[in-house]
Amino acid sequence: MKKNSSIMLFFIMMILGTTITASSNNWLIMWTGLEINMMAFLPLIALNKLDAPEASMIYFLIQSLGSMILLFSVLMNWNQNILTMMAIMVKMGAAPFHFWMILIMEKMSWLNCLILMTWQKIAPMVMIIHMKPMMMLASISIIVGAIGGLNQSSLRKLIAFSSVNHIGWMLSISELKTFLFMKYLIMYTIMMTMMVLFLFNKKIFQLNQITENLNMVEKINFSIMMLSIGGLPPFLGFITKWMVIQEMMNKSMLFLMILMIMLSMITLFFYIRMISSLMLMEYNFIKSWMFHKPKKSQMMMMMTNLFILPMVAMTMI
């Protein structure tokens, strides 16, 4: 009971820190909100498994480094320079400052990974919107996220590189339209939440566990969620990227748009390669389907990923 109340207190502090940063126009107050957010997230990391102390220490050191650079830049009145941008990118885990995020995600629980990939991105993203982010930095995150996911056997590393890739997409749209950025962030959070909760419930951390622990229906659900994260039509992830592409076409940013589409093909390549190997290992599709009678919850998840979420997202555009 005491542990649950402590966790709830840390969650409230984490939400408070993000709210302070998001609702302020003063750089020092934004920095204060980031520090409250960081100090609330550290105990949540430390509460899980044996590797958690190492992960919490790495997170603390990296976030402290980013805070020092940011505070130095603000106090020197260099609010709009590359140093401030670099500090925010470090705290957010965007490329080329993404290595710490890949490292600690391998040492954290799935639920903490979800918080790191979604909620912990809100405050730095809001700060970066005040600055007009550089498209070159967005392109680096997209390239690193696409190429880094190749030949990964750890699902946490694979999803971490996917998160870096999506950060690049969000950075690119945040310079064009803030409202579209908020839509992208909401849809991305929905995709990641469904994927992480699925893997958390099944206690899956490596690709080889999928073939051993999941039946055919669950493999189909997993495949749909991975393809959605990769941005394959007609899933939810495609609609998020479609918004960005459409806005870039309106702004005549054709070169960057083509680059982002080509890199999306790379992410889809290793997702489809992984999924095809899973399906081919089912030597008899019909027999497997009949032997593992699908539950109503599994079928509902499949229908949600295939139809409900894309239809809701279409209404938001």
For residue 206, the SS3 value is strand
pLDDT band at 152 (very low <50, low <70, confident <90, very high): confident
pLDDT band at 307 (very low <50, low <70, confident <90, very high): low
pLDDT band at 52 (very low <50, low <70, confident <90, very high): confident
pTM: 0.89
Tally of CB atoms within 10 A around 276? 11
Residue appearing with tokens 């992984």: 274
Lowest-pLDDT choice from 5-9, 67-71, 146-150: 5-9
Is the separation of the CB atoms in 243 and 180 below 8 Å? yes
Whether the per-residue pLDDT at 116 is higher than 90: the answer is yes
Name the range with the highest mean pLDDT among 57-66, 125-134, 168-177, 238-247: 57-66
Alpha-carbon span 30 to 11, nearest angstrom? 18
Nearest C-alpha neighbor of 152 from the set 61, 271, 306, 297: 271
Give me the pLDDT at residue 317, please. 60
Residues 23-39: tens digit of each pLDDT: 888 888 999 999 999 99
Give me the pLDDT at residue 37, please. 93
Lowest-pLDDT choice from 44-53, 81-90, 159-168, 296-305: 296-305
Domain boundary assignment for the chain: 2-316
Whether the per-residue pLDDT at 50 is higher than 60: the answer is no
Cα separations in angstroms, 235 against 167, 214, 226, 231, 309:
19, 22, 10, 7, 8
DSSP assigned state of 233: T
Average pLDDT rounded to a whole number, residues 70-93? 81
Give me the pLDDT at residue 47, please. 77
Nearest C-alpha neighbor of 300 from the set 235, 218, 231: 218
Is the separation of the CB atoms in 62 and 90 below 8 Å? yes
Tally of CB atoms within 10 A around 111? 13
Lowest-pLDDT choice from 3-17, 223-237, 266-280, 289-303: 289-303
pLDDT band at 211 (very low <50, low <70, confident <90, very high): confident
Average pLDDT rounded to a whole number, residues 262-287? 72
